[in-house]
Amino acid sequence: MVSEVFKARVDFTMDVTKLTEELSIISHILHRHPSKDISSYIDHLERIQYLTTRINHLIGRTY
């Protein structure tokens, strides 16, 4: 049982880490390489919304 709990915590941490790393990359792109193309911003914002929804879902499921 302890190993199952440990594995679940490791999986949770890995999932959240992966999602936050992608958020960090998108943030860097938006900050350092601004685009004059509004559709590019919209694509990035939609991805940010998806990633934050996934993180919130993971946190809500875990706690």
- Whether this prediction's pTM lies above 0.85 is answered by no
In angstroms, the CA 10 to CA 5 distance is: 9
Which pLDDT value is given to residue 53?
92
Q: What are the pLDDT digits (tens) for 17-59? A: 999 999 999 888 888 877 777 888 888 889 999 999 998 888 8
> Is 24 or 62 the better-scoring residue by pLDDT?
24
| Of 14 and 34, the one with more pLDDT | 14
Q: Nearest 5°: phi and psi at 41?
A: -60, -45
For residue 63, name the pLDDT band (cuts at 50, 70, 90).
Answer: low
DSSP code, position 34: -
Look up tokens 């998108």; give the residue. 26
